[in-house]
Structure 1
């Protein structure tokens, strides 16, 4: 193995807010293996996704570019095959690349390519082009290679039948934990590492757990690990002066008819799913140590976005910008290289690509919009972000309360399926700018939100219409405007001229 290039392990969960971990202040959740990583690494206290839904978040993270730049505006869109991605660059620089778990970013040969930037009608298999090894997993318990295992199929079917189609469906899966997806992915990763350490090339492994996303269910001993009575509830949001989309989602989630005990039960199962993942992570890290390669492995743990888990009268994910949707856990571990600490620096998920490439000694492609924090990790000069920007929504008018003709009658009503899976739930674009002190959310239909994060960390009091705070809004709008100008795409290169975009111009006058 090349000693000058570290192995890269990117561990990602799906739909997990930072507040679900004890290291971020949760009073009951204990994840000893993640805490072990945190004790020897850096815990970033303010890391945020760039879109509060799976595919846009994952696609932008892998491209290092904002969702509006890559034109990935909703959960049914995948990464343009012409975009340069993190595994693609690492593979070209000698890395063996692997995906174990959920994809939801790269076209896999089953989707017709409709991007105007490439050939129409083809079915590119970018997934297997950029990854040398792939073992995909779906929500529930189906993992590639185990489709014919009757016990795995039974575990998956139980999850689908009992916990998939209703807003707050949840329960204890009767299957053995060794026949459930999280365990199978952990074992696959352990086996992969056994083979990878025999290679001369370093590896990049994206270990991507589909949980604790819906369906909310877990096998024992995880399902009963937390008693609902011990589970804290978020502060109540009366939704006064809030955007109408929040009120629509509140009804379409049937949260107006959900009692506190049901919400506690769902949160307890969600926490148990997280501990299931933590145990799998522990086995993977132990394997790295046993193989003698832990010290040469750069590890990032994060999630693609959050889950409201009852906050703001909502469940799952939505076309909104509350921290419950956007604030993700973020731990970096690199034994012997990274000093253990907690950091208040603002981080975006698109920062992962340039940081990993810096650590791996690879050139960062033109057009990458993320900011490498590798200098900070290594104790070098680093200027942290002043703010983060999060985007969401498709073009169109958001759904209104007056347009609701059918809704779930109760939290376990399966007749409507879950609202956040409907395209209508994501109509209406918006952008959010968040500093340490303030958050401004702007929507194309004229709605807006302003939160004083120092005095109102739970984002309950919307100050958008407050005359007292007009200047704050103006200042944040100006920052967002400058961000929009700076974000204008530099890639792909305009090849109608013969310019080298990597070279800085020697003078202000450029001749052909």
Structure 2
């Protein structure tokens, strides 16, 4: 269990070592913290739809100002990221940099770029073995009370999968553009690239229509792809990696010792060794604790209604 609060000091520690830092934030949650060490950053403030939004650059949050832009927001993040990479390459000293691109896709409202709005209408990747497998009296209590989905819910999950894939096309294109830019500048082989997400998602698994807060693999597991110096192409590790490992890993790459208050461990030794044991013979974790934040989700509300109806009968 993590006994400490959010680890907000990664960018400050990184910047203190003479590195350039930039952060592009892609969601609307009000509790997001902008590290003052990120000398360049942009945060999404409000969004009516994907092509109209308010963007807060650098000190605009403190000064109360913002820019109103009309464009597809992921395109804006990508363009700013490319601009940052080019400017870094032009600097005489060419200091190492840390760039964080936090795209909103495939988060709701799942508005895709216009050029991708007619794709993936027959998508069925979410139709896994567990899809609409319900009820489950032999499983955990939350699944015992989950019925099979209705026809309209089934169609909803299909449409949701289509829209999520449509939004992800822009992310796929952005990754390609960023990699090509690094390659053209001769920096690709000197750069570590991490591709991951904050959580998984379910769309119909065990009859659960949609969401992210269930203690099952489809909600817990996230994509985690890494390329960089010393990492063998095509290698696959079976070790348990957690999001708390990211900050210590980035600091390790920069040659900076992680402060003792950080809960995670650097993944760099594992990535370079492609083995299951830590090179310093320190046992790697074999388990972890999963918790969810306070608050009621749709599942809890529906479960309460179902139980209440059962009692009334």
- Superposition TM-score, scaled by structure 1 size: 0.49
Matches within 5 A, 1:5-84: 66=2, 69-70=4-5, 79=6, 83-84=7-8
Q: How many Å separate the matches in 2 of 1:198 and 1:270?
A: 37
Q: CA deviation at 1:218?
A: 1.2
* Residue 136 (structure 1) aligns with: 43
Question: Is 1:386 aligned to 2:286, yes or no?
Answer: yes
Query: Any residues of structure 2 matched to 1:116-155 within 5 Å, and which?
Result: 127-137=34-44, 140-141=49-50, 142=53, 144=55, 147-149=67-69, 152=70
Evaluate the alpha carbon distance shift between residue 188 and residue 268 of structure 1 in structure 2; reply closer, same or farther with a 3 A threshold.
Answer: same
**1:306 Cα deviation from its structure 2 partner:** 1.3
Aligned position for 1:210? 104
Q: Match of 2:221?
A: 327
Structure 2 unmatched runs, 5+: 57-65, 307-313
How far apart in 2 are the matches of 1:247 and 1:257? 20
**1:228 partner SS:** coil
Whole-angstrom CA distance in 2 between matches of 1:390 and 1:309: 20
Match for residue 74 of structure 2 among 182, 198, 203: 182
In the alignment, which of 353, 373, 377 is matched to residue 267 of structure 2?
Answer: 373
Partner of 1:289, secondary structure, is helix
Closer/same/farther in 2, CA of residues 96 and 237 from structure 1, 3 Å limit: same
Residues 358, 311 of structure 1: CA spacing in aligned structure 2 closer, same or farther, 3 A cutoff?
same
Partner deviation per Cα, 1:382-426 (whole Å, 9 max, x = no partner): 643312332213399x94657439xxxxxxxxxxxxxxxxxxxxx
> Does structure 1 residue 277 correspond to structure 2 residue 177?
no
Whether 1:266 and 2:192 are equivalent positions in the alignment is no
Q: Deviations over 1:295-327 (max 9, x none)?
A: 211111100101212223234434321111111
Tell me how far apart the structure 1 counterparts of residues 30 and 126 of structure 2 sit (CA, whole Å).
Answer: 37
What residue is the counterpart of 1:424 in the other structure? none
The question of whether the paired residues in 2 share the 8 Å contact of 1:231 and 1:264 is answered with no
Q: Which runs of 5+ in 1 are unaligned?
A: 1-64, 71-78, 109-125, 153-178, 406-512
Q: Where does residue 249 of structure 2 map in the other structure?
A: 355
Match of 1:238 among 125, 134, 145: 134
Aligned match of 2:310 = none
Aligned equivalents of 1:386, 1:399: Cα separation in 2: 30
CA contact (8 A) 2:9 2:35 kept: no
Taking the TM superposition and a 5 Å limit, the aligned residue runs for 1:72-471 are: 79=6, 83-102=7-26, 127-137=34-44, 140-141=49-50, 142=53, 144=55, 147-149=67-69, 152=70, 179-199=71-91, 200=93, 201-228=95-122, 231-234=125-128, 235=130, 236-241=132-137, 242-243=139-140, 245=142, 256=150, 258-334=152-228, 336-340=229-233, 341-379=235-273, 381=279, 383-394=283-294, 399=300, 403-404=304-305
- Residue 450 of structure 1 corresponds to none
**Partner residue, 1:414:** none
Q: Give the Cα separation in 1 of the matches to 2:196 and 2:220.
A: 12
Secondary structure at 2:241's aligned position in 1?
strand
Q: Which residue of 2 aligns with 1:160?
A: none
CA positional deviation for 1:262: 3.1
Q: Return the offset for 1:259.
A: 4.2
Between the two proteins, the alignment pairs up a number of residues equal to 279
Larger RCO: 1 or 2 (CA < 8 Å, sep 6+) = 1
Query: For residues 123 and 29 of structure 2, what CA distance do their matches in structure 1 show?
Result: 38
